[in-house]
Amino acid sequence: MTGKGHRISTFAFVLGATGSPIAATMSFFGSTFPDSSEYVFFGKRRNRYHRRYTHWFVPWLALAWACFSRSGWIVPRLSALVDGRNAHYDVWACAGFWFMGCVLHILEDAWCGTVPFLRPWKRDVGMHVFHMAKKAGEMSAGEVNFVLCCSGISFIAFMVRFFTVDSFIQFIITLWRNI
Ligand SMILES: [Zn+2]
C-alpha cells in the first residue's frame, strides 16, 4: 500500500473506532513508520528486508500495549493535553496510538500482499484483496476503493457516536423543513 493510502485509512479507522481526532492524528503519523524505518535500519539494503522484521506485528503491538497500560487505557483528548493536569495519561495514550498506527500499517499491507506472522524473517500471511499500482507511490483503482470503503465505514461509525436514532430522525426532519 502507498504511504498516502496508509495515512488516510489509518486516520479514518482510528477516528471511527475511538471518536478522538487526536488519537487519529497520532496514528496518522505512526502509520508510515514501518516502511520509513527500513531506510533507518537497512539503508541501501532495504529491498532485501522489505516487509520482514519491520512488518512483524509483535514488537509494535507490545509497545502500543505498554503505552496504553501506562495511560490507564484511556482515549486521549486534546482538552486534557491543553489543560495539563493529569495530562501524562493522555501523553501515554498518544504514544500508544502512534504505535497502533504501526500495527494498522501491517494489517493494511496484509490486504495487498504478505507480511510475517510468527516468524519475522518469513512473509507468510496475507491476501490480495486489491493489487498495487505498477508505479511506486501511485494508488491503484483497487487501493482507492479500499481506502474509500474504510473511510466511509469509519465516518458512519464516527457520526453514530453523536446521534441516537431519534436525534438522527429529528436532524433529518429539521433539515427537510429548512431546505
Ligand atoms: Zn509496509
pTM: 0.90
From start to end of 51-128, where are the E strands? 112-116, 123-128
Helix axes 3-18 and 21-30, enclosed angle (nearest 10): 150
| Secondary structure letter of residue 130 according to DSSP | S
Rounded distance, CA 55 to CA 50, Å?
8
77: helix, strand or coil = coil
- For residue 35, give its domain range: 3-178
The average confidence (pLDDT) of the chain is 94
Cα 108 to middle of ligand 1, angstroms: 8
Percent pLDDT > 70 in the chain is 100
Residue 44: the pLDDT is 86
Ligand 1 centroid distance, CA of 69 (Å): 26
Is the pLDDT at 147 greater than 90, yes or no?
yes
- Closest Cα to residue 12, out of 104, 127, 122? 104
CA 157 to ligand 1 centroid distance, Å: 26
Contact in structure between 68 and 94 (CB atoms under 8 Å): no
Q: Per-residue pLDDT tens for 66-114?
A: 999 999 999 999 999 999 998 999 999 999 999 999 999 999 999 999 9
Residue 102 CA, ligand 1 centroid: distance in Å? 9
- Give me ligand 1 centre to Cα 177, in Å: 49
CA of 145 to the centre of ligand 1 (A): 18
For residue 145, what are the β-bridge partners?
none
How many domains does the chain divide into?
Answer: 1
The alpha carbon of 67 and the centre of ligand 1 are apart by a number of angstroms equal to 23
65 CA distance to ligand 1 centroid (A)?
21
Residue 53: which of 115, 121, 1 has the closest Cα? 121
51 CA from centroid of ligand 1 (Å): 6
| CA 141/CA 22 separation, integer angstroms | 29
Please give the pLDDT value at position 151. 95
- 3-state class (DSSP) for residue 112: strand
